[in-house]
Structure 1
Amino acid sequence: MDFLLGALIFNLTAAAAFSLWFFFYRRSEKKLPVPIDGFVDPRFDKVAQVFRRSFETGEETGAAFAVYYKGDLVVDLWGGYTNLAGEVPWRKENMTIAFSVSKGINALLVAKFVELGYLDYKKPVSHYWPEFAQNGKEDITVEMLLSHQSGLIGFDKPVRIFLSSSDYGAYLSLLEAQKPFWEPGSQFGYHIFTWGMFVDALIRKADPKERTIDQIFREEIAEPFGIDFFQGVPTSEQYRSVPRLYSQTLWQQRGLFFDKEVRKRFKHAITDINGYFNIAKTAIAEITGKNQNNLCTDYVFRQIPCSSFNGYGTARGIAKLYGIIANGGVCENKRLFKESTIKTFDQALLQGRDVVLGALMKLGRGLIIFDSPLGSKMFGHTGYGGQFGAGDLQNQIGIAYLTNNLAPLPFIDPRCIALRDTFYECLNTLKDNENSVQ
C-alpha cells in the first residue's frame, strides 16, 4: 500500500506540474486556423459542429469521421493537420493506422471464409493448421481463438513481427510451439497483439489459393466492394499514410481520472497477480511504449500485414464496409454476406470483465458488441488511441473514426463518443419527425 500511495502522490504532483507548464505553453502558442473539409447531410449538421469543436479545444490534431446510413454516405469529415507544426493539412485521401479496428475487419474476413466453406467456427484450429496441435493447444477451436479464449496472449520470449515477412516458416514455428497462459476456454482475456498473429495464420492455412493475408482481404472484400482499407500498406499507397502520430498530453487526458471504469482498469493493471497484461503488451519484440508511435509510421513497418494492429485506411472506407453489412450486405448488386451470417454479427458469445485489460466486454466471434445511445446493438471494434469502426443492423448504420492524436486507452475515447452520440441524437430527431408526419 505504501508503494501505491507513493506512486499516486508522485503521479498527482507530476500531473499538477505538467498542467501548469501546459497552461502557460498554450497561452503563448500561436493558434493555427482549423481546416475542416468534407460533407455532412443537413439532417446531421450538429455532427460537424462537434467535430470542429474538438479541434478548437485542442483535443484533435488530425482526424476523420464518417457514417453510412441506409446505404448512403451522410457524414464524411476530415480536418486538422498530419503534423503538429501545422504544415500539412489532413486531406480526403489520407489514411492512418487503425490499430485494433483491424481485428474487427479480419473477423469479418473469417466470416467470409466460413460462408465459402473454407472455415468452420466449431472445428479445432488444428483441422486447418495441424502443426498448431501441440503444447496444450489441441482443443482450441476457431471460435475460441477469435473470442480471446485461447490463452495465447503472448510468448515466452517476445516475437519479432518483422520475422513474419523475412522468414514466415520460422515465424510460424514460434506460434506453433507456444503454450497457452491459461486452460483454453476457461476464461477470456484480450489478446492485444497475438490475436492477429494467430488468426491471420489460420486464414492463410485455410485458403485454398495459398494467398498472403493482405492479398486475401484485398481480393475477397476490398476490391470487389471498394473498401479503402489495407492490412499492411502496399508501396503504391504509402504516400497517403499520415506521417506522424502523437499522444494526447496529461492535461488532455485529465478527464479519464474521474471515470470509474478507467480507475478499475488501472487498479487491475497494478494488482494483476498473473501478470497477463504485461505478457500481452510485450508479445511483439519491436513494440514498446517508447517507440510505438514512430514505429507505426515507419515505411517498412507499415507494409507488414498483421490484423492485431497494423491495418490502415480511411474512416470513409471502414464506415462503408460496416454500412454495407448493416444495409443488408449488398452493394451494387454484389452480395458481401448472406443475411443469415449478418444476423450473427451483433450476437455476444460471452461477456464480463476480461483477465488481461480488466475491461468489461461483450465479445462475439472476433467482434466487440456495444450498446448504441438508442439502445440498439453495435458490432465492430475499437482501437488504441480512440480509433473506432462499427455497424448497427437495427438502424442500418456504418460508422468510423480515426485520429493521429492518440488517447491512452482502447475502448474509451470522449472525442469518438461525442461524435457517435451526436449522430444518434440527430437520428432520433429525424425518426421522431418522420413518425409525426405519418
Structure 2
Amino acid sequence: MMDFLLPVLILSLTAACSVWLLFHRRKGKKLPVLVDGFVDPRFGKVAQTFRRSFETGEETGAAFAVYYKGDLVVDLWGGYANIQGELPWQENSMALVFSVSKGITALLVAKFVELGFLDYKKPVSHYWPEFAQNGKEDITVEMLVSHQSGLIGFDKPVSLHLSRTDYQTYLSHLEAQKPFWEPGSQFGYHLLTWGIYVDALIMKADPKNRTFDQIFRQEISEPFGIDFFQGAPTWEQHRIVARLHSQTFWQQYHHFLSKEVLRVFIHSLIDVKGYYKTAKSPVIELMGKNLDLLYEDVEFRQIPCSSFNGYGTARGIAKLYGIIANGGVYENKRLFKESTIKTFDQALLQRRDAVFGNFLNLERGLIIFALPLGSKIFGHTGFGGQFGGGDLQNQVGIAYLTNNLTSLPLHGPRYAALRDTFYECLKTLKDNENSVQ
C-alpha cells in the first residue's frame, strides 16, 4: 500500500506545487547580506556555502560551528536576529534549539550513570518511588531515555508553569499517567514528554537535591565552558534571537517529496493507534498554534524542559560534542570516560518509530546518522532543521542553529549542505596528509 501511495502523492504534490509557484512570489524586503566569524583556511568552502544560503534568501539568521581534533575550525554567524532586520545575529547570540536539547540532556544522563547516581537497567521507581503506578512499575531508566516507555502524552493537560508554582502537584500528574503502550514493547518518539519525565528523574536521582538547570550548569556547562542553558536565565535573555518566520511552503516543497517526509506524512494521516496525535497534543496544548509564545514570554523561557526549551550558541554545542569526540578531556578535566564515549554511536534500537513512522538508529536518547565519509555522528536534531552532534572517528563536534524554521523532520537541507561541505574539505585534508606520508 505504501509503495503505491508514494508515487501518487509525489505526482500530486509536484503538480500542486508547480501551479502554486506560477501564481506566488516571495514577499518581504531584501536585506543586506551579513556574515561574520572565522574559518580555518583548510575549510574555506564552508564559509562560501554559509554565505550562499543568505544570498539566495534561504537563510535569515543562523550560526554554524565545528570543532576538529579539539580546535575550533569553523565559527560562523550571519543574518538578523529580528524580523525587522534591525538587529544582526551576533557572535554571542543564542537560539532556542528545541530538541537539540534532548541530546544534550541524554549526555547528562550518561554523566549521572558514570557518577553512580543512575543505572540504565534499574527501574525509574528505584529513584522515584511514586512513579511506580498505573503500568509504569517496570519502566527502566533505559526505556525512558530511549523513547520506549509509552509516555507520549497526557490524559489531562499538564502545564509547565505548574512546575514552577506547585512542583509536587506537577509531579503527581506525571506519576498518575498511564503509558499508551506496554513499556518496552516498541519505540516511539516522545515529542514533548521526554524531557518532562527525564528532567524529573535526574532531579530525583541527584544526591545534592539541585534543580535541573543547576545540575546541568554545575556538572557540564561551567566546568567545561559550554555556552548552553536549560531554560534561559533572566540575565542571559537579551542574547536570544527572535524567530523571524517559518520557511514558506514554496521554499520547502521539493523536500516534501522525499520518501522519508512522505512516509511521515502518510503515517500521520493514517495514525491507526492515535500515537501521532497523542504525542503532538501536549505541544498544541502548551503553545497552541502560536510558536511566538516561546520567544516572547520571559518567564516561559526560564523554565527548564529539555524536550525543547534549551538555549545556546552553535559554538557552545559544537564544543560540547567536540570535547567528547576528542577523547572527553578538556583543560585536564574529564567529561566522560572512554568506555562511556564508545557507546554514544552504538545503536541500541534500529527500528521504525511508532509515532512518526520514520526509521531511526537510536542510542540512549541520542540519534545516530550516517556521514559522507562513511563514519557516524551521534547527537540530536531540533525543530526547524537545527542540529548538534559528534563524530568519534573523525574527532568532530558540529552544530547548526537557525531562526528561520523548516517544518521538515530530522535535520534540514541547510545544515546538510554545510555538513557535506565541511566533510568534503576534511576528505581533501586527509587525502593530502596521506599523500605526504
Question: The TM-score by the shorter chain falls in which range?
Answer: over 0.9
How far does the alpha carbon of each residue in 1:35-76 deviate from its partner, in whole angstroms, 9 at most, with x for none?
100000000011111111111111111000000000000000
* 1:409 shift after superposition: 2.3
SS at match of 2:369: strand
Verify the 8 A CA contact 1:325 1:336 in the aligned structure 2: yes
The answer on 1:264 being equivalent to 2:266 is: no
CA offset digits 1:279-305 (Å, max 9, x no partner):
111124643462123434421111110
C-alpha displacement at 1:14, in angstroms?
A: 7.4
Equivalent pair of 1:35/1:80 in contact (CA under 8 Å) = yes
Q: Is the 8 A contact 2:380 2:387 kept in 1?
A: yes
Contact 2:62 2:402 in 1 (8 A): yes
CA distance in 1, matches of 2:416, 2:360: 17
1:169-198, CA deviations, whole angstroms, 9 ceiling, x for partnerless residues?
111000000000000000000000000000
Name the residue aligned to 2:21. 19
Letter matched to residue 225 of structure 1: F
Counterpart position of 2:275: 276
CA distance, structure 2, for counterparts of residue 220 and residue 187 of structure 1: 32
List, as ranges, runs of 4+ consecutive aligned residues in structure 1 with deviation greater than 4 Å.
Answer: 7-18
Aligned to 1:393: 392
**Displacement of 1:319:** 0.2
* Residue of structure 2 in register with 1:409 after alignment: 408
Match of 2:302 in 1: 303
SS at match of 2:208: coil
> Distance between the aligned counterparts of 2:106 and 2:29, measured in 1?
44
**TM-score, normalised relative to structure 1:** 0.95
Q: Tell me what 1:65 maps to.
A: 64
CA distance 1:56–1:103, change in 2 (3 Å): same
Q: Secondary structure at the match of 1:121?
A: coil
> Amino acid of the residue matched to residue 434 of structure 2?
N
Q: RMSD of aligned C-alpha atoms?
A: 2.1
Aligned to 1:331: 330
1:134 aligns with 2:136: no
Partners of 2:256 and 2:408 within 8 A in 1: no
Task: Tell me, in whole angstroms, the C-alpha distance in 2 between the residues paired with 1:239 and 1:21.
Answer: 40
Q: Quick check: 2:60–2:244 contact (8 Å CA) kept in 1? A: no
The CA distance in 1 between the partners of 2:405 and 2:151, in whole Å, is 27
Distance (Å, rounded) in 2 between the aligned partners of 1:312 and 1:219: 16
Taking the TM superposition and a 5 Å limit, the aligned residue runs for 1:46-125 are 46-125=45-124
Residues 33-44 of structure 1: pairs in structure 2 closer than 5 A: 33-44=32-43
Q: CA deviation at 1:261?
A: 1.0
| Structure 1 segments unaligned to the other structure (5+ residues) | none
Question: Match of 2:42, as an amino acid?
Answer: R
Encode CA deviations 1:61-103: one digit per residue, 9 max, x unaligned: 1000000000000000000001232111100110011100000
Report SS of the residue matched to 2:279: helix
SS in 1 for 2:430: helix
1: CA distance between counterparts of 2:298 and 2:197? 24
**Maintained 8 Å contact 1:98/1:387:** yes
SS of structure 1 residue aligned to 2:202:
helix
Query: Cα distance, 1:12 vs. partner?
Result: 7.6
Using a 3 Å threshold, how does the CA distance of structure 1 residues 436 and 14 change in structure 2: closer, same or farther? closer
Of all paired residues, the percent bearing the same amino acid is 74
**Counterpart amino acid of residue 215 in structure 2:** I
Q: Deviations over 1:386-416 (max 9, x none)?
A: 1100000010000000000000023130000
Counterpart residue identity of residue 313, structure 1? G
Match of 1:350 in 2: 349
Q: Please give the alpha-carbon distance, in whole angstroms, between the structure 2 residues aligned to 1:245 and 1:379.
A: 29
Higher mean C-alpha deviation, range 344-353 or range 66-75: 344-353
- CA–CA distance in 2 between the matches of 1:254 and 1:403? 19
SS at match of 2:268: helix
Q: Aligned ranges for residues 354-393 of structure 1 at < 5 Å?
A: 354-393=353-392
Provide the residue aligned with 2:253 in structure 1: 254
| 1:197 match: secondary structure | helix
One-letter amino acid of the counterpart of residue 343, structure 1: K
How many angstroms apart in 1 are the aligned matches of 2:296 and 2:188? Answer: 28
Residue pair 1:79, 1:91 contacting (<8 A) in 2 also: yes
- On the 8 A contact 2:242/2:295 being kept in 1, the answer is no
Q: 1: CA distance between counterparts of 2:12 and 2:288?
A: 20
Moved more, 288-297 or 343-352: 288-297
Distance 1:11 1:371, change over 3 A: closer
Matched residues, number:
433
Structure 2 runs not aligned, ≥5 long: none
1:189 corresponds to: 188
Contact 1:158 1:284 in 2 (8 A): no
Q: How far did residue 161 of structure 1 move?
A: 1.4
Counterpart code for 2:257: F
DSSP 3-state at the match of 1:111: helix
The separation in 2 between residues aligned to 1:293 and 1:250, in whole angstroms, is 19
SS at match of 1:292: coil
